[in-house]
Amino acid sequence: MKLNKISLVLMLVSPSLFASPNLTISTSTTSRDFLLTSESPLVVPLTKASYTLNVTGIEGSCIKPKEQKVRFSQPLALNCDSPTELLIKIRFNGDYAFVFDAENKTLLIKRQPKKSTDKAFKRPLPQVQCDIYKGGEVTINLADTYKDGTQLKDKLSGQVVTVIQQQVTITPAINSGGLILLEPLKGQFKEAKFNWRNANIYFVMIDRFNNQDTSNDNSYGRRKDGKDEVGTFHGGDLKGVIEKLDYIKSLGTSAIWLSPIVEQVRGFVGGGNAGSFPFYSYHGYWARDFTKIDANFGNENDLKRLVEEAHKRGIKVLLDVVINHPGYATLTDLQRDQIPVVNPAQSWPVQWRDWQPNTGQNWHSFNDNIDYDNAAWSQWWGGDWVRASLPNYPKPGSNDLTLSLAGLPDFITESTKSVTPPQWLLNNPGTRVISHDNYTVADYLIEWQTDWVKRFGIDGYRIDTVKHVSGDVWMRLKEAATKSLNDWREENDETGQPFWMMGEVWGHSAYRSPYYDDGFDALLNFDMQKKMDEGALCFSKMADTYQNYADTLKEKPDFNPVSYMSSHDTELFFGRFKSFEMQRNAASALLLSPGAVQVYYGDEVARNIGAYADDFHQGTRSDMNWSLDANRQKLLKHWQTLGQFRQAHPAIGAGTHKEIKQKNGYAFSRTLGGDKVVVAFAGKSTEPY
C-alpha cells in the first residue's frame, strides 16, 4: 500500500517493543485482564477469595521453577513465551499491588496500605508500533483478488473505484480510523447463504436492556433498595427486546442471545463480600423453576411474539441454558415453600421478603437466623438432586464436575438414580414440571430445557458453565433439542438450519478442543478480549490473530470461535480506556474477525460501567443507554456500517483469509465462493474522533 502522507512512528516507546505483558486475574466465574508495565505497579482491589493468575506476553529466555511456591512480597519467576499460572488465596479485602520486573522477568505481589484518597485506576495504553495516516489518497495493492476493470465500493466512504493493474487509489472516510472496506458494486456478487461462522450475535441481558412494561417491575414482591440499585431488578423485559428489534437488526445482527428467561429465585441474597447490597437474580442464572418464564421478564405470549418478530427480520433466537445449578435458597422462597429451617427474629416483618439489615448488620446478616444444620433441608432440592453443604446432601467436590460454583447447589447430572421433583416445585403455580417414573436429574433438566424449543421454535442455545457438566449430558441435550426443533418446524410448516449450540468453557481460547465432540457447534473465545487493546490502537496488530483463527477454521471444519470484546463476567471494553476512538477501532477489530462474533448490549454505544459496590462485575450489567450524545451517535453509525458489511459478506467470518502485502499499512482479502472482499488499513489516523 502506498501512502501519500505517512510516517512510521513508535508510540509509547518501551524496551519491550512488541511484547505486551498481560495479567489475567480469575475466579471460577469471573475474570479481568490488565497490562503489566515495569514503570509502575498495577494496583487492583481484591476481596477474600481464591484466584488464578495467568501471565502472558513475556519475551526472552526464562522458565518458572516447577515447585515454585507463591508467597507474598517475594519475586515470583515467570515463563517466557508461554503462560505462567499462579494460584493465590486472598484472606483480607483490600488493594493488592502486582510489581512487574521486566529485566528479571518476575512478578511480586503485595498488599497495599489503605489509601487516604480514592484514585480511579487508569489503564496504560499498549506499547505498539504503527503506521500513521495523515490524510489524502492511498494506493492499495489488491493482488489477484479482482480482475482489472472491476468496480469496487468502499462501504465506509461510499466512494467507487476501478481496479487498474491490481490496484485502487482511494481516500479513507472521515472517522474511519484509517479503515477501508472494499466490496464489488451491488449486482456484481451473488449473496451467499447464512453461515454460523459469520454470525453476529447480540447478547441482551433482559433486565438491563429496555423496560417496555412497567407493570411487572416488582414481581413476586421484589423490591428496590432505594440506593444505587446494584443488584435489584431494573425492569427490562421481553416486550422491551421486541420494541428494539429494528435497532438490533440495524447492527447487522444475525442472532440474539437472551439471558436466561426462566423463573428465578424470588428473593435476594447478600451482595458483595461485605453484604453491601441486596442481590436478586436479575441476570437470570439462579433458576427456581426451569419450565416457567420469570414474571419480571414477561410471559409466554411475549416470548412467542419475540421469536416471530425476530424471524421476520431474519434474526435467530438463542436461549441461555443453565444445567449445572439452580439458584440459592432465599428467604422469600423458604417462606413461600414452607421449608422450616428459618428462626425469624421478633423484629422481622411478616413477609420475609421485606427483611432489611438493622444497624450493625449487612445484607448477609439474615443468614444468622437460618439453621443450616436442620434436617428439614431435605424438603428443599434434596440430596438426590444437588450437592450442597447441608445435612444429608452429598458434599461438593474439588474437581470441575463436582465443585460448587460460587456456593450454588450443584445438580448431580451424572447420577443414574431415579428422582422425584421436590414437592414445592410440583406445587409451584403454573409449573410444567411433572413427575416421571425412572427419570434421572439429567432427564428432567433436558426435558425442561428442550420444551422451550419444541413449543416456541428456538433456534439454538448458549450453554453456561460447560466444563462443570459431563459431555454425555451435553450430547443428549443437543440431540433432544434438535428433535424438538424439527418437531416444531414440522408442526408449523417451516424449514431452517439445524439446531445450533455454543458453549461457555471458562477461559477457553480459539482452538478446536474435545468439547466440540460433545455436541457444540461453537465455543466462546476468551482470547479475543485480550487482543483488543493492541488491535484498537493499531488495526494491523490483528494480523497474527486473524491468521491464526483463519488457519484453524480452515484446518478444522467443525471449529468455530465466538469472539467478544465485552462480557458480563469479565469487563466492558469501554471501561478500559474511556476512549471513543479506541471503542470504534475495537469494533473494527471484532467485527472483521474470522469466525463468529458476539456483541454485548451497549458495546456499540460505549455503555458505561454502572454502580457495583464491592463487586466489580455488577458494573458490567449497567442499564442500556438509549439517549446518545454526538460521540455515541458517530460510534453507533460506524458499528452499524461494519455490522451490515459483515452480514452482507459471509466471507468475512467464514471465508479464506489471505494477507496482501503492501509497501506500508495492512490489507487482506476474504473469499467464500463468489463472495470476495478486501479490507485495508491506511494507518492510525491523526484526525480527532
Catalytic residues: 464, 504
* The 3-state secondary structure of 199-246, one letter per residue: CEEEEECHHHHCCCCHHHCCHHHCCCCCCCCCCCCCCCCHHHHHHCHH
Rg for the chain, CA atoms, rounded: 26
What is the rounded distance in angstroms from the CA atom of residue 643 to the CA atom of residue 504? 23
Closest by alpha carbon to 401, among 473, 344, 350?
A: 473
Integer Cα distance of 2 and 157 in angstroms: 19
Query: Where is 337: in which H helix or E strand?
Result: none
Backbone angles phi, psi at 12, to 5 degrees: 55, 60
**Residue 525 three-state SS:** strand
10 Å CB burial of residue 547 (0-12, 13-18, 19+) is middle
Beta bridge partner(s), residue 7: 132
Residue 124 near residue 305, CB atoms below 8 Å = no
C-alpha closest to that of 509 among 176, 131, 101, 54: 54
Hey, which residues does 54 pair with through a beta bridge?
Answer: 24, 85
CA dist 249 and 279 (Å) reads 32
Element (H, E) at 305: helix 300-312
- Residues in the chain, how many? 689
**Rounded Cα gap, residues 97 and 185, in angstroms:** 55
Q: What type of residue sits at position 666?
A: Y
- HEC letters along 49-101: EEEEEEEECCCCCCCCCCCCCCCCCCCEECCCCCCEEEEEEECCCEEEEEEEE
As a whole number of angstroms, the distance between CA 285 and CA 571 comes to: 18
Burial class (CB in 10 A: 0-12, 13-18, 19+), 241: buried
Contact 322, 465 (CB under 8 A): yes
Q: Phi and psi dihedrals of 642, rounded to 5?
A: -65, -45
- Residue 456: helix, strand or coil by DSSP? helix
Task: Please say whether the beta carbons of 410 and 387 come within 8 A.
Answer: yes
Residue 264's alpha-carbon distances to 81, 219, 282, 283, in angstroms, are 45, 11, 8, 9
